[in-house]
Amino acid sequence: MTVSILWFRRDLRIHDNAALQWVCDNSTQVIPIYIHSLQEEKPWQPGAASRWWLHNSLLALEKKLADHGLRLKYFCGESETVISKIIEETNASSLVYNRLYEPHLHKRDLSIEKKLQKIIEVLPFENSLFFAPGSILNNQQLPYRVFTPFYKKIRPLLTPGHVEHDSASLASGLKSLKDVAVSSAQSLISLNLLDEPNWHEKLHSHWRPGEDHAFELLDAFIDDAISHYDVERDIPSIEATSRLSPYLHFGEITAQQICHSIWPLLEGQRDSKTAQSAEVFLKQLVWREFAHNVLWHFPETATEPMDKRYKKSFWRSSKRDYHAWTKGETGIPIIDAGMKQLWETGWMHNRVRMIVSSFLTKNLGLNWLQGANWFWDTLVDADLANNSLGWQWVAGCGVDAAPYYRVFNPNTQTKRFDSNFIYINTWLPEHNELDYPQPMIDLASSRDQALDRYKQNISS
């Protein structure tokens, strides 16, 4: 008998799962596990909204494995200690998992691999991205700092052969695996992922975590919205985006699976307009790839600006202004609507994310890291690489960033992307142009102050 420990992390799916496929092909018995180890994830433990998603994603995976006679086993504690105890109790011969790419977790995994490979075969597999971070370099064998050259390098490498996948062998392999009991296994509820009081219940009306729903969303997006994605993706009142970001983060679906599904459209199966629109969508997946590569090569950018001139002293400090922003009480409708949408749904339209981020870092002059931390706690799709790159991009201090002196005007953005106030009225039902509270700051003068701050500290 060959007993394998299958360590789930952010690969909460059964299809297109290299670690699971290896277990099906090479094992007779399996121990599927999930380890909740907050200490090892510091300082980036999942935020409250992410923990809600994680709980429900694990529940969905648990049910899918149970359909094949397998029990997902939960543990709390130090990963190496937990796994060592499982090995001792079950005499497992293999530890199999898909890699995590955040630098602090990758370092943790390498340490575990080095220690445990003395007593067990350790088999890590690549996971979720088109290519392993660090493998795409420029002609000087240096990491890319600008997105467009990165995209031009990676796009020809994406071929039907690279993104194809076959789930037939997995289905038969899962049926033949036997489950192994572990006496120290805990329940999902014992991980305490859900906060008290249960504020998060509202999220159930907006999301259904799990692999199956990821594909339902993808199919619906391909059937309709993708044909207009290139022209409608910036309009927050229209359901024109895929909303797959949280599913990608938790590994309920992979970039390869998405690319495989849209490939016929990229090749013009529907029409040239849809092919062009699908290419714009694919570029967003490559942007995600770029974000992970940036964090891989420059791990300090999770907490420090890439451009060191934007040090802490560059930014203002105001608890009052920050709290008004988080609560959606700025007196600027598009900003307040975005922050209300975030609080109610754990998600915010990407165009609005840029507007509220610009307002925080430019008009209010507050540190981008404050905004990144708020998003980290409130977004169901909080992803360290994407969150860090996105905030530094808007703040003007990251790689390939929009310059700091580019200030989004919320009123102009509203006229362009929500001229009829459909989005604003959805999230601010009390909104009335005539008697809405006055803005907390004057947009024109605060923009001038931002430009002065730039001239005094950066451009001189």
**Each residue's pLDDT tens digit, 236-255:** 999 999 999 999 999 999 99
- Chain Cα centroid distance, residue 375: 11
Tokens of 299: 């791990």
| Residues 276, 134 share a domain | yes
Domain count across the chain: 3
Domain membership of residue 389 (yes or no) is yes
Domain membership of residue 188 (yes or no) is no
Domain membership of residue 253 (yes or no) is yes
Domain termination residue (choose one: 227, 262, 297):
297
| Residues 146, 238 share a domain | yes
| CATH code of the domain in which 258 resides | 1.25.40.80
| Residues 453, 321 share a domain | yes
Domain membership of residue 172 (yes or no) is no
Are the CB atoms for 6 and 30 separated by under 8 Å?
yes
Give the 3-state secondary structure of the chain: CCEEEEEECCCCCCCCCHHHHHHHHHCCEEEEEEEECHHHHCCCCCCHHHHHHHHHHHHHHHHHHHCCCCCCEEEECCHHHHHHHHHHHHCCCEEEEECCCCHHHHHHHHHHHHHHCCCCEEEEECCCCCCCCCCCCCCCCCCCCCHHHHHHHHHHHCCHHHHCCCCHHHHHHHHHCEECCCCCCECCHHHCCCCCCCHHHHHHHCCCCCHHHHHHHHHHHHHCHHHHHHHHCCCCCCCCCCCCHHHHHCCCCCHHHHHHHHHHHHCCCCCHHHHHHHHHHHHHHHHHHHHHHHHHHCHHHHCCCCCCCCCHHHCECCHHHHHHHHHCCCCCHHHHHHHHHHHHHCCCCHHHHHHHHHHHHHHCCECHHHHHHHHHHHCCCCCHHHHHHHHHHHHCCCCCCCCCCCCCCHHHHHHHHCCCCHHHHHHCCCCCCCCCCCCCCCHHHHHHHHHHHHHHHHHC
Are the CB atoms for 193 and 34 separated by under 8 Å?
no
Domain membership of residue 89 (yes or no) is yes
Domain membership of residue 239 (yes or no) is yes
pLDDT (tens digit per residue) in 99-128: 999 999 999 999 999 999 999 999 999 988
- Kindly report whether the peptide bond that precedes residue 439 is cis, defined as omega within 30 degrees of 0: no
| Residues 292, 387 share a domain | no
| Residues 6 or more apart in contact with residue 364 via CB below 8 angstroms | 316, 318, 321, 322, 325, 441, 446
| Residues 360, 274 share a domain | no
**The pLDDT value given to residue 168:** 53
Instruction: Classify residue 39 as exposed, middle or buried by CB count within 10 Å of its CB (0-12, 13-18, 19+).
Output: exposed
- pTM to 2 decimals? 0.96
Quick count: other Cβ atoms within 10 Å of Cβ 187? 8
Domain membership of residue 203 (yes or no) is no
Phi, psi of 390 (to 5 degrees): -60, -45
Among 128, 126, 91, CA closest to 109: 126
| CATH code of the domain in which 30 resides | 3.40.50.620
Residue 389 has pLDDT above 80, yes or no: yes
| Residues 60, 143 share a domain | no
Domain membership of residue 336 (yes or no) is yes
**The pLDDT value given to residue 176:** 84
| Residues 145, 101 share a domain | no
Domain termination residue (choose one: 238, 270, 297):
297
The segment with the largest mean pLDDT, out of 158-162, 174-178, 378-382, is 378-382
* Proportion of the chain above pLDDT 70, given as a percent: 98
| Residues 265, 410 share a domain | no
**The pLDDT value given to residue 161:** 79
| Residues 154, 29 share a domain | no
pLDDT average, residue stretch 335-343: 98
| Residues 230, 89 share a domain | no
| Residues 372, 278 share a domain | no
Among 339, 377, 288, CA closest to 52: 377
- Tell me the average pLDDT of the chain: 95
Among 361, 355, 351, CA closest to 405: 361
pLDDT (tens digit per residue) in 257-275: 999 999 999 999 999 999 9
**The pLDDT value given to residue 165:** 63
Range of the domain at 13: 1-126
| Residues 96, 133 share a domain | no
**The pLDDT value given to residue 166:** 56
Tokens of 360: 């925080």
